[in-house]
Each structure stands twice: as structure tokens, then as C-alpha cells.
A = this chain, B = another copy of it.
Amino acid sequence: MGTGQLSSLIMQGFSGPIYPIHPSEENVMGMRAYRSVRDVPEAPDLAVMVLPTGIVPRLLAECGEAGVPAAIVTSGGFREVGDAGLALERELVEVARRYDITMMGPNCIGVSNFNIGLNTTYYPYQQEPGGVTIISQSGTNSCHVYGHTHRIGMRLSHTVSVGNSAVVDMSDCIEYFAEEPTTRAIALYIEGVSDGAKFMAAARKATARKPVVALYVGGTGAGARAGLSHTAALGGDDAIYDGMLRQTGVLRACNIEDLLDWAWALATQPRAPGRRLCVYTNAGGPGASMADAASRAGLEVPVLSEGLQAELREYLPHTAATANPIDITFMLDMEAYYLRVPRLLFESGEVDGMVMYGIFGSWLFRTRKAALGDRFTLEIDSLTPRAFALLDELAGMPAEYGKPLLVSSFWGRDDEALAHLTDVGVPVYPIPERAVRSFAALT
């Protein structure tokens, strides 16, 4: 575990000094190791402790003596294993209080801040920093999800695993990230809240400043049992949590996919001023399934005015549908597709935002070229730079008009146009209906 966490710190490019501490090794992963925090030439800003349970309180006290102001205690075996562990956890808290140490955990994976290359989890985060902060009562759900976010191109600001929350709990984190400027949306994974009033105060403070989405899993019998054995969380009645979240303006998701999908939209796009959705596509099937999903999500897909449809038809082939969904069918004019038509729609006042299907770069052509060689004669090199410039302008429209744009494609980041679009801040969902449900979150 310690090797993994240290690997992540190095791989993330953390620029500050790192002081490995080890009882016998002279050298840990190419760095000079120290016998004790007392031997380190300066007081570190943060101690990450991966140690046998019994010695954690004593070594945390050493950190306190050395002037370390903050600690992440990864070690488990405390409150979550019963009475003996509980006594040890109380001792640990007493030490943290005595030395005024801001302590995360115990029984937590750590804290990542991708703005400074700090990753104390055991998984690499292989992306640029972004606007979503995850605060999680599960370590796994705070760092295994890097695999998911990497695959879809969703970027994170911070991830926090609160573990047993002996000193710092989820509510403290919510309050902190309400003010933290790189965090544009907060995603919570909750197994149980021990101090409801504190949670509600923190959540209210946060939602007044930025959107918060929560997944609560402790409200069903099996979910509560799982949470209890996991982090000693006491889950409560699902309806009570539902009300608590609603009263504090926290959006509730029912699985991890929705939690992250919605947070991605909320961190990158403006809120939708209303529920009128434009479905804009080059393919009938995804257009129809997005329209159907919109109705099921309580959105409107309004029939556009005759005047607007006439304007749209000036840019579109005669086979196109213009009522909404707008299905352009087949058209080679990228400027009309990516810019003119979206601008007309954003400017019209008839819709509150847009979901789009059908953007692509040269992935398909490159794949064919690779397989077919000279038999494939289409000139593809000029496609990409031209598409990027158009997509940059398209990606700017949501801020310009105050209306969100979400994209979907079954083809992921293998296609450079879709990868580019996510990189400039427009979420691209791998399934059309997920873009629609995320749009609903923006309302």
C-alpha cells in the first residue's frame, strides 16, 4: 500500500520534497529514507501514515512533536473492527487534538489535489486537473474511479477519502470545498451521516455557491449492512436522506455512473435556464432515443417555430428533419453543422440548451487507412486541424449564450475530435441517453 501511494506521488509529478520514513531501509524508491520523522531536515506539511494499527498513535505523536500540521492515516483496524479498535481510535483522536493535527482517516486512502500534483492514493490519475471534486466515504470510489474518468475524459480537481472520519468528516470537507476555487462541482459518496445538522449546514453553504450531487447507498437493508462493516457508518432511512438532500439543494444520483456524469456536466457547463431541450443529431436512432429519454427525464423537446425551421433549412440538406429533434442526416459542410446551426439554435430563444450526437474526427478514416493502405485513397490529414478550430468555437457557445451543450458518441477518446472537445470543456458521453440525463441535472 505504501509503495503504491508513494508511486502515485512520484508519477503525479508532485514538486515538493518527499521524505520516506522506514525503520530499516536506507533507500526507498530511489530516495533517501529516514528512520523517524524526527530525522527529517524540516517539518513536512503532511504525513501519510501506512503502518501497523497499534503503533499509529505513537508515531502520530512524533509527527506532532516534529511540527507536522496535517496527516492522512491510511492504516485500518480502528473503529470499523469493533471495541478494541474503537479504543485505539480514541487514543489517535486525542493525539491529533493535543498537537492540533488536521487528520484524515484513519482507514482512508488519502487526498488528491491535482492542481499541485498531489496524489496520495494508490492509483495513478493520468489526466490534467479539472473542476469536479469527489468526497467519498469509500476509498475505492475516490480513486478506482480514475479509470472511469480517464476513459471518458472527465477531469477532477480533488478527491478525498474520509475513511472513519475521526477528526475531519465529510461535512468539514464539504464546507472547505464550498470555498475552494478550482472546485466547480462536488460529488459525494455517502454511506451514512452521523451528525445530520452539521451535514445540512455544510451542504446548504456549498449549494449556495456551487452544485453538489450525492449518491447515498445506506438507505436499503443490504446497503446499510455493507456500510456498517465497511466504515462503521450508520445508514438511515432512505426517505429521510432523500428529504435531507432535497432540503439542502443537493441533487441525488442513484448510482456511481450518474453521480460522475452529472458532476461532469455541472462542473463544465452553465445551468440550463429552463427545461426546453434541443436534440441535434446526424443519426436518427440516437436522436429518437435522446428525445424519448428527455421526456422520461421531465424535459421538453419543443417543436421549433416555422420561422426558425425555415432558417435552419437554409443550411441543411432536403432530407433533414428540423422540427426537433433536428436530424441533419448527411452533410459534409462542417461549418454549418458545428457552428451556423448551433448558433441559430442558441440564439433563437426557443430552447434552453442542446444535446448533440454525431461529431467525429478522423478515427474511422485512420482505421481504414491502417487496414487498407493504398486501397483507401481519401485525403484525411487536413480534416483534424480544421475540425479543431470549429469545435473550439462551438465549445465557447455555452458560456456566450448561458445555455449548456452536452455531446454523446459511441466512439470515445480514440477519436481525436471527441477527445479534443472534452479537453476544451464539453462533456462527451459514451451513450446518448446519458447526455440527456445529465442535461436534466443542469436544470
Contacts and interface: CB of A to CB of B under 8 A. Distances in A.
Interface of A: 1, 3-4, 7, 10-11, 29-30, 76-77, 81, 122-124, 136-141, 144-148, 151, 189, 191, 215, 217-223, 225-227, 229-231, 254-257, 279, 283-289, 291-296, 301, 303, 319, 321, 323-325, 327, 329-330, 364, 367-368, 371-372, 374-376, 378, 409-412, 414, 430-434
10 contacts: A3-B378, A76-B319, A138-B286, A139-B283, A144-B283, A218-B292, A220-B292, A223-B291, A230-B284, A255-B433
B289 A141 contact: yes
B144 A218 contact: no
Contacts of A289: 138, 141, 189, 215, 217, 223, 255-256
A156 B218 CA distance: 37
Nearest to A161: B285
Contact of A372 (B10, B148, B410): B10
Contacts of A7: 368, 371-372, 376
A403 to B, nearest CB: 18
Nearest to A433: B255
B410 A147 contact: yes
Contacts of A364: 4, 122-124
Given A7-B368, A138-B285, A256 B433 contact: yes
A84 to B, nearest CB: 12
A223 B277 CA distance: 13
Contacts of A372: 7, 10-11, 29
Contacts of A296: 220, 254
Contacts of A285: 136-141, 189, 191, 230
A283 B151 CA distance: 21
Given A219-B292, A230-B288, 18 more contacts: A4-B368, A29-B375, A30-B375, A81-B319, A123-B364, A138-B285, A139-B285, A217-B291, A218-B292, A221-B295, A222-B295, A222-B325, A223-B288, A223-B289, A225-B291, A226-B287, A226-B292, A257-B431
Given A218-B292, A289-B215, A372-B29, A140 B284 contact: yes
Contacts of A145: 410
Contacts of A3: 376, 378
B323 A11 contact: no
B11 A288 contact: no
A255 B293 contact: yes
A188 to B, nearest CB: 12
A68 to B, nearest CB: 25
A81 B321 CA distance: 10
A86 to B, nearest CB: 15
Contacts of A414: 147
A185 to B, nearest CB: 19
Contacts of A433: 254-257
A412 B283 contact: no
